[in-house]
Amino acid sequence: MYNKIIFATDLTEDTAYLVEKVRTMRGLTGAKLYIIHVVEPLPGYSYAYLGIEDIEGQLIDEARQSLAKLGEKLNVDKHDQFVEVGPTKTKILQTAEKVGADLIMTGSHGRHGLSLLLGSTANAVLHGAQCDVLTIRLPKDE
Ligand code: AMP
């Protein structure tokens, strides 16, 4: 059914819910699993404003650590974990194509979303993907 699944995660508190869906889909299909988190580049002025020299470097390090933990939980090889820097939609789609994914899994909305609407990343991935996309509807906020 599916041979290669890539799970795009924003590493927020919704991740645990999505992880169970990803785990189940992987179990049902026996597919190889990849995980990706994208760090959006910060505008130059943020460095001066926050007084931290290498915020982006720190964000990348933190993302790598969080993704590594998720990789352990989901039993994903280090080489199949991607932390990319750039526009989120573009990086998810490029990486999905690079690994030859035939299914991209995302949540329906992330940090900025309203529970009834498809978030901008989910929407962009759905429209730009060459392969199937499974958009998992997140439970409504209490
Ligand atoms: P959004 O469209 O931003 O509300 O997020 C919807 C879904 O897109 C999330 O549940 C994730 O699956 C995915 N996503 C959002 N931001 C990122 C990111 N920075 N890196 C990887 N996946 C992301």
Q: Which CATH superfamily is domain 4-12+21-137 in?
A: HUPs (3.40.50.620)
From edge to edge, which strands make up the β-sheet containing 32-39? 81-85, 32-39, 4-8, 103-107, 132-136
Residue 52, pLDDT score: 62
* Percent of all residues in the chain with a pLDDT value above 70, rounded to a whole number: 85
Q: Is 95 in the pocket of ligand 1 (CB under 6 A)?
A: no
Check if 38 has its Cβ closer than 6 Å to any atom of ligand 1.
yes
Average pLDDT on 43-69 reads 81
Contact status, residue 131 vs residue 104, Cβ threshold 8 Å: yes
Cα(47) to centroid(ligand 1), Å? 24
Among 3-12, 63-72, 87-96, 132-141, whose mean pLDDT is lowest?
132-141
CB 71 less than 6 A from any atom of ligand 1: no
pLDDT at 142 over 50: no
DSSP class per residue in 108-139: S--TT--TTS--HHHHHHHHH-SSEEEEEPPP
Domain range list for the chain: 4-12+21-137
**pTM for this predicted structure:** 0.91
